[in-house]
Every structure is written in C-alpha cells, then in structure tokens.
Amino acid sequence: MSNPCGVSFGICTVRITRLDSLGNVIAGSNAYVSDKAISVAVNPNLETGNTFSARNGCGCSLARFKVRDTFNWFDFVFTQAALEPEMLAFLLGQTEITDPAASGTPTVGLNFSSAVDCDDDEPAVAFEFWTQHIVGSAQDSTFPWFHWVFPRTIWQVGDNTFEEALAQPVVNGFSRTNDLWGRGPYGDGPPDGQSVTEWAVYATDVDPPNAECESQNVTATS
C-alpha cells in the first residue's frame, strides 16, 4: 500500500475536550463536537533566529550566518457558522446561562466575567478537527480523513461583527504543550500508538465523531 499523498479539503468536524490545569482530561460531560465550523486559521508563531555577518576593511563579506528560527506555538482564528453557547463556554471558560423552565434545562447563553486573576487556572481545551483527504475528484477510499490534533489550547473572544448579515462567531486561541494527552481518550489517536504532545496530523479511516448541539461524555483515560 502506498503512502497517502492527497489534498486536505475543508473542515468538517471540530471536537473540543476540557482539561484541568495540568492538562488532564476532565471526566464527565466535558466534550463537545460541532459540524458548524467555517474555518480555522492555524498560524505558526516563530521567533526569528539572529543573523551575524563579518566584512573586511573594504566592505567585502567574509562570513554570514543565520541561527535557525524557533517555533513557539500556533495562533488560531476559529470561525463558526452558528452560535453554540455551550461550546463557547468550554472554549472561553465562562459561566453558562441555562433555562430551567425549558425541557432538559438547555444552555442558552454565556455570562462573561472579568479578566482571569493571576492565581486562577486558565481554561484549557484539547482542540481537534477533521478535513477530507481528496485524491483525484473524491475522498480517498483507504484514508478518507485527515485528523488534526492540538492537545492543549487557550482561547479568547475574537473580533465579531453584527450587521445585516448572518453572524459568524469568532474566537482566537493559541496552543501549548500537553504531555498528558497521550493518544487521547477516544480511541482514535495515532494508529501506531504514539503520544501527541505538541500537535499532530495523520490520515485515517476512522470517521469523525457525530456532532450534537450539546456536551458529550468523556472519560479521563488517555
């Protein structure tokens, strides 16, 4: 069997999983799967390496050297097609507003607090998404998906515009190292058993999870 070498297309499913202050998965109703993403911008934050050069008295170059750049983290811009309050509560760590009078006591909104104090734990989630693996004019029959994994991310409200148009909620985030994610708690981690600490992407024949407009259960096992 040849290696997968098709094209990544679209963004079909997003899954977030709440983490504690150390990066452990929080067991319980702490996962959320959405099929309403429009886009995720994934931009590497790099620290440019120093450059050095030497010239002689006539201005001729004797030596020049550039230290390699250093990868710091990824910066994200996540744009949704729909307003999903419970998902935003997970991402932003804000208090949910529920409606006790409605059937099932649904989450209907968010109640935002002030900035997090220095001694407070910042809300963190694992952030995953699936894109289609296209070969020719169709999804690859062997590995139809690319699974992207960022095992620890931090989020804040982005620039949002409300006007005579369909609103598209935006949040901004960045990645962090998480050596406690392992292969994740869902059984769909890297097929060779590797742990994911910074980020990973791999072709897979495992279908994305089903989206629901509510939180889903997750175990703490990783």
Query: Contact, 97 vs 110, CB < 8 A?
Result: yes
In a domain, 1, yes or no: no
Angular region, 117: left φ>0, alpha ψ -120 to 50, beta rest: beta
What pLDDT digit, counting tens, does each position of 178-205 carry?
999 999 999 999 999 999 999 999 999 9
* CB-CB contact of 171 with 88 (8 Å): yes
Q: Does residue 29 sit within a domain? A: yes
Q: Which residues contact 93 (CB under 8 A, 6 or more apart)?
A: 116, 122, 123
Window from 23-27, 73-77, 94-98, 179-183 with minimum mean pLDDT: 94-98
Residue 2 resides in a domain = no
Neighbour-count burial of 145, counting CB atoms closer than 10 A to its CB (0-12 exposed, 13-18 middle, 19+ buried): buried
Spatial separation of the C-alpha atoms in residues 176 and 197, rounded to whole Å: 9
Q: What would the mean pLDDT of 146-165 be, rounded to a whole number?
A: 96
Strands 124-135 and 138-139: antiparallel
Residue 115 has a pLDDT of 67
pLDDT of residue 121: 74
Residue 41 in any domain: the answer is yes
Could you give the number of structural domains in the chain?
Answer: 1
* Domain coverage including residue 75: 7-218
Residue 91 has phi, psi (to 5 degrees) of: -65, -40
200 part of a folded domain: yes
- Give me the pLDDT at residue 116, please: 62
**pLDDT per residue over 108-152, tens digit each?**
998 988 766 666 678 999 999 999 999 999 999 999 999 999 999
d(CA 86, CA 216): 11
Query: Model's pTM, two decimal places?
Result: 0.91
